[in-house]
């Protein structure tokens, strides 16, 4: 009877019949009814009590409890519960996926709730650590966390940061943002960074920021020399892409004798993206390179797309 009422959306009527509070199944159904009725404050209280006694229904109760906490904007409690659950040595796969999704959604909701207060620390160090350690993270959430990382003492997160930089599956652009934070905080430690099947040794204490590298100015000057009078709009696009390229490959070195080649490849690549025709012979003359060299460099550029 109760299941039929709930299936028909008659949650208030079902709730009246769910009176045996010693039954964990009843507790779960009461929680579902309260959430479905929008009675989130009551659901929050019910959820706390249900979680304390749940056994067979434990993960379903936690899911419903998290929903009520989120709707009540009790983000800290919801996040603490999710961190605790996700750190357990075992959790059924379907619930792990659901809790990971809920964690991302609640962190984003927490960020939105604090919108407009730029100086406020939204994510705790524990929350950022969870984001760094997760295999699949929403991009918006990741880059918000990395922005917040700048406000923390990164030394307390070094074990997670070290693993992140060494993991070849983590996004290279995000790794560079972390490395710049390490540089700004003058962390003196030898680190290994994996990018595009190569490994680099990196010590933030004596490494330059990405756009303070000599190659940034050197390659930029080559692009300005060739494009400033010919196509100012294309020049600006090439300079923008140069910044992106350097962020993605950092800390890989680009030597002075490579500046012209990188500039030529960027010129050709960006122009092609904009459907701008490039005379290959003119390109070779302007940058004093061969097209075979440019083509090899283009393969490297396509790898970072």
Distance CA 25, CA 10 (A): 18
Low-confidence ranges of the chain (pLDDT < 70): 114-121
Fold of 2-113: 1.25.40
- So what's the pLDDT on residue 289? 95
Class of domain 211-303: mainly alpha
CA separation, residue 126 to residues 87, 191, 239 (Å): 12, 22, 37
Neighbours of 238 (CB within 10 A): 25
Q: What is the pLDDT of residue 86?
A: 86
149 with 176: CB under 8 angstroms?
Answer: no
**One-character DSSP codes across 12-41:** HHHHHH---TT-HHHHHHHHHHHHHTT-HH
pLDDT digits (tens, 9 = 90+) for 7-53: 888 888 888 888 888 888 888 988 899 889 898 898 888 888 888 88
Domain range annotation of the chain: 2-113, 125-208, 211-303
Two tokens, residue 12: 């208030």
pTM: 0.68
């Amino acid at each position: 009877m109760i299941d039929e009422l709930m299936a028909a959306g008659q949650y208030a009527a079902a709730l009246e019949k769910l009176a045996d509070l010693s039954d964990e199944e009843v507790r779960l159904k009461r929680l579902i009814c309260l959430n479905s009725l929008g009675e989130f404050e009551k659901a929050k209280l019910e959820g706390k009590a249900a979680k304390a006694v749940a056994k067979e229904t434990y993960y379903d109760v936690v899911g419903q409890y998290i929903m009520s906490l989120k709707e009540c904007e009790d983000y800290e409690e919801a996040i603490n519960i999710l961190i605790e659950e996700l750190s357990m040595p075992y959790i059924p796969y379907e619930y792990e996926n659901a809790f990971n999704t809920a964690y991302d959604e609640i962190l984003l909701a927490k960020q939105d709730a604090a919108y407009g207060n730029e100086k406020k620390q939204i994510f705790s160090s524990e929350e950022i650590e969870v984001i760094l350690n997760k295999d699949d993270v929403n991009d918006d959430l990741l880059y918000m966390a990395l922005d917040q990382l700048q406000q923390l003492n990164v030394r307390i997160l070094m074990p997670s940061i070290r693993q992140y930089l060494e993991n070849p599956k983590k996004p290279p652009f995000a790794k560079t943002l972390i490395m710049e934070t390490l540089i700004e905080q003058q962390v003196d430690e030898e680190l290994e960074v994996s990018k595009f099947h190569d490994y680099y040794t990196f010590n933030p204490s004596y490494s330059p920021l990405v756009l303070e590298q000599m190659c940034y100015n050197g390659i930029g000057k080559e692009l300005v020399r060739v494009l400033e009078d010919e196509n100012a709009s294309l020049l600006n696009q090439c300079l923008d892409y140069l910044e992106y390229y350097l962020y993605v490959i950092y800390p890989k070195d680009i030597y002075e004798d490579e500046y012209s080649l990188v500039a030529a490849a960027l010129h050709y690549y960006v122009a092609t993206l904009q459907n701008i025709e490039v005379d290959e012979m003119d390109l070779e003359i302007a940058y004093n390179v061969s097209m075979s060299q440019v083509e090899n460099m283009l393969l490297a550029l396509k790898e970072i797309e």
